[in-house]
Amino acid sequence: MSRLPEAVEALLEAARVAEFTVIPAMATQIRLHLYAGLLLAASDLVSRWLGPGGS
């Protein structure tokens, strides 16, 4: 008796469950990268505005 159909069913179920747990985590990572990039750009603008020596 082949267990291949059961294995495929288990794999599909795991993929369906993982979709609901992985996608929110990916969205969080994207948001964190966006915020880090914005902070880096803002710090670069502030450092250019203050000029060398910070005053």
Distance CA 36, CA 1 (A): 54
- pTM value? 0.57
In tens, the pLDDT along 23-46 reads: 787 888 999 999 999 999 999 999
Higher pLDDT: 1 or 7? It is: 7
Distance CA 4, CA 28 (A): 36
* Residue 20 CA: distances (Å) to CA of 6, 8, 30, 37: 22, 19, 16, 27
* Alpha helices by DSSP H, the chain: 4-50
Distance CA 35, CA 31 (A): 6
